[in-house]
Amino acid sequence: MMDTVFSFGQIIIADLILSGDNALIIGMAAAGLSPQLRKTAIFYGMVIAAVLRIVFAVIATKLLGIPGLLFVGALLLFWVCWRLYVEIRESTDRRAEAALATAGDLEAGYTGAPRRTLFSALVSITIADVSMSLDNVLAVAAIADGDTTMLVFGLGLAIVLMAFAATMIMHILTRYPWISWLGLVVLIYVASEMLFRGFFDINTGIGPMLGLVEGMELGKGH
């Protein structure tokens, strides 16, 4: 019971702190558009991010069960941790909050004639969303460890937070930076656990696969 509660807590923290990237990119792209196009750009930016998360979740749940790929996923998650550390140091949350506020204010940001098309803004958002959605799904999938309920909860929460509470989340993370640091610690813990299982797990670990170790049953419930 406590393990389940702990895992749900990890997912909530991961979703909160990994929403900053998306908010910053969508906000900055929208703020550079003329006022009449901003709400459309923000809406479609959120839809693209949501769809990508669902697609990556389906792929991740299949791939992480393949021997050796859990280990690779752990290395990718450590890379996410490093990026998050850099972003915390560079106050990404503060910039994201300002970008979203500017995009939502029709008298702020760029207010002249259109200097870029909605399509070009959405292309920029989509390219950035690919990486950010993968980060989010990788973290949630690692915590869920095959638990479909947890995975759906994590994805649903990420999408809801991004769609309806992005500005509020950025404000909270800006006002209470310790939450971001806590989130970084949680992700490092998740990545470390994932790396351990990715090497030693008898079913998916790279160690038993290469004959380096005998292997252990390390899935949840063992």
Give, rounded to a whole angstrom, the gap between the first and last alpha carbons of the chain.
14
Residues in Cβ contact with 194 at an 8 Å cutoff, skipping those fewer than 6 apart: 70, 73, 74, 77, 142
* Digit-coded pLDDT (tens) for 28-51: 777 667 777 777 887 888 888 888
Q: What are phi and psi of 201, to 5 degrees?
A: -60, 130
pLDDT band for 111, please (50, 70, 90 cuts): low
In terms of DSSP H, where are the helices of the chain?
A: 2-17, 19-31, 35-63, 69-89, 92-104, 118-144, 148-164, 166-175, 178-200, 206-210
> 61: which 2 tokens?
């749940």
What values do phi and psi take at 24, rounded to 5?
A: -65, -50
Which residues, 6 or more positions from 163, have their beta carbon under 8 angstroms from its beta carbon? 46, 50
* Residue of higher predicted confidence among 145 and 187: 187
- Does the pLDDT value for residue 218 go beyond 70? no
Domain ranges of the chain: 2-107+114-210
pLDDT tens for each residue of 4-25: 888 888 888 888 877 666 666 7
Least confident of 21-35, 108-122, 123-137: 108-122
18 or 218, which is more confident: 18
Please tell me the distance from the alpha carbon of residue 138 to that of residue 132, in angstroms, as a whole number: 10
Residues 158-181 pLDDT 10s: 888 776 766 677 777 777 888 888
**Top mean-pLDDT range of 4-8, 68-72, 85-89, 181-185:** 181-185
**Residue type for 215, please?**
G
Q: pLDDT at position 97, please?
A: 65
* 87 alpha-carbon distance from chain centroid: 13
What pLDDT was estimated at residue 6? Answer: 83
